[in-house]
Amino acid sequence: MNRHRFPPFLAILLLLLIGCPLFAASLVATYSEEIDTTIATSSSYGIGEPNYSLAFHVGTLSFQKVGNGPIHAYRGLTLTQFGFLNNPLQLISNRPINGTSTFNAKMVAKITHKSSTSIKTIGQTFGDTDLISSNTSLNYPFSVEFYVLIAGIHTPELVAGAHFQFANPPGGDLGEFTLKSFYTYWWFFTNYDTLHINSSSTSVPYFVVDYTSGSLNYININSVNPTVYASLTIEQTPDQASISLPEAAGSNKIKVGVARITLSGFQSTDTYGVSISFTDGNGSPTSQFRLKHAQLNEYIPFGLRLDSQVIENGEPVNWNTLSYGSNNTKNLNVTGIDYATAQTSLSGLYSDDIYVTIMPLDTNLVGL
């Protein structure tokens, strides 16, 4: 009787061994934090949406099959959020931008899977977000990119040189997450499998670096060089090289050149300012300038105007609202010659060399 029961038992055991291979592949998830948090346009990352023009990269989650042999038929991908991810997030700038220093933000996941891309908002304080539908079988390799979108700032030029942190409270950091996927085993049993990330079953932080308010670390720290260079030129035409005394006598004024300031380097929509001082080359001891006779120590005092602004010898004046490019110009005018004094002076040719010093008024503006 026992001899009749033993063979079926061997057959069942053989079937189980066939259904459970000794050598199988595994699904490996690897997460890497983004160290370069330079803020760029959200469209450059392929995640642009209305009202969120800027973004920075948080990290990359990569999935691949490792090993030979079969692998579970995984379907869907769910992210479980831990920590204090407020919706919206808040970012604080170290300087005002468009009149404010606090900006709403949100984190999104960009999933690239099966030659298609989808964007999911990670917006719950706690809970699950389905990155890939449970009806979709996973194909490997594929990736998930995490970004933070920023509202209220339209161009990256506005954040040049600005540093950001997450508000705390509220906000904190971006928290931590785990992953799980649905799979079938033994042909009919189903289950959720908690995927190991970086060979660990524990939750993984989006940022190991602390970017919360009050920390020593800042977002946008690797931003492009925000330096703007300012150069001054005095342009003269041949008819401005010499003047007759009556043309600049009293309240009369005559243009002797055009002062032009060119801003180059980082192209920003911000406006800048410089301080300019004009110093008399003939050593005038007063606030006026003076022309010197070509051969003798005879002088004729005169005044200088930058457009209508009075220029005093050696005293700085501010030139504000400078914009990028070379369209910043003002006329340089000579005026205020005492005609009666000039008439009693020796005849001849009088001239003056005027030295100009330019000093930037903004920290990221450099004079050339």
Tell me the three state secondary structure of residue 142. Answer: strand
168: Cα within 13 Å, side-chain hemisphere: 15
pLDDT for the residue 26: 81
Residues linked to residue 190 through DSSP beta bridges, in sequence order: 184
pLDDT for the residue 345: 84
Q: How far apart are the first and last CA of the chain?
A: 105
Ordered per-residue pLDDT tens for the chain, 368 residues: 444 444 443 333 333 333 344 446 788 899 999 988 999 999 999 998 889 999 999 999 999 988 887 777 889 999 998 866 666 789 999 889 988 999 999 999 999 999 899 999 987 556 789 999 988 999 989 999 999 999 999 999 899 888 999 987 544 578 889 999 987 765 555 677 889 999 888 999 998 888 888 888 889 976 455 678 888 998 988 877 788 878 888 889 999 999 999 988 776 667 788 999 999 999 999 999 999 999 999 999 999 999 989 999 999 999 998 988 899 999 999 999 998 877 888 888 889 999 999 888 876 677 65
Are 177 and 29 spatial neighbours (Cβ–Cβ below 8 Å)?
no
Domain 228-367 sits in CATH 2.60.40.2040: yes
Q: For residues 313 and 282, give the distance between their C-alpha atoms in angstroms, rounded to a whole number.
A: 11
Are 80 and 177 spatial neighbours (Cβ–Cβ below 8 Å)?
yes
Enumerate residues 6+ apart whose C-beta is below 8 A from 220: 37, 38, 39, 56, 159, 162, 163, 164
Closest CA to 147 of 45, 44, 300, 276: 45
The DSSP secondary-structure symbol of 314 reads T
Enumerate residues 6+ apart whose C-beta is below 8 A from 242: none
pLDDT for the residue 2: 44
Label residue 338 exposed, middle or buried (CB < 10 Å: 0-12, 13-18, 19+): middle
**209, containing H or E segment:** none
pLDDT for the residue 4: 44
Read off the pLDDT of residues 185-222 as tens digits, 9 standing for 90 and up. 655 556 778 899 998 889 999 988 888 888 888 899 76
Q: For residues 136 and 138, give the distance between their C-alpha atoms in angstroms, rounded to a whole number.
A: 6
Q: For residues 327 and 322, give the distance between their C-alpha atoms in angstroms, rounded to a whole number.
A: 9
128: tokens are 């699950």
pLDDT for the residue 7: 42
Q: For residues 123 and 85, give the distance between their C-alpha atoms in angstroms, rounded to a whole number.
A: 7
Residues linked to residue 306 through DSSP beta bridges, in sequence order: 309, 332
Q: For residues 49 and 154, give the distance between their C-alpha atoms in angstroms, rounded to a whole number.
A: 12
CA 306 to chain centre: 36
pLDDT for the residue 334: 93
DSSP 146-173: EEEEE-S---GGGGTT--EEE-TTTT--
Which amino acid would we find at residue 134?
A: S
Q: Phi and psi for 6 in degrees, rounded to 5? A: -65, -45
pLDDT for the residue 226: 62
pLDDT for the residue 18: 36
Read off the pLDDT of residues 213-266 as tens digits, 9 standing for 90 and up. 888 888 997 645 567 888 899 898 887 778 887 888 888 999 999 999 998 877
